[in-house]
Amino acid sequence: MVPWKPPLRITFGKAITRLLSGGLAAGSGVWGATAKPDGLSVSLQWAAVAHLVTAVIGFIVPVQLSADGDQEGID
């Protein structure tokens, strides 16, 4: 009997979830490591700078939509 394999999009979704969870954990570690020696206010200032840089990058390199603006998933 052949074992059941989940569809590719489910596997891809699980991989993305794990990457995002790992990114959140890594980010928490980075900001915690920043706050410990320098203090909370310096850590929050660096976080604000990181958010502003991310926003500027979003304006410089916007998300490209398909020709018809379709945001549907791939089946």
Cα separation, 16 vs 9, in Å, equals: 10
* pLDDT(53) > 90: yes
Q: Which of 5-9, 24-28, 59-63 has the lowest mean pLDDT?
A: 5-9
Q: Who has greater pLDDT, 67 or 55?
A: 55
Residue 4 identity (one-letter amino acid)? W
Q: Looking at the whole model, is its pTM more than 0.85?
A: no
Mean pLDDT (whole number) for 12-33: 83
Predicted pLDDT at 12: 76
* pLDDT(60) > 90: yes
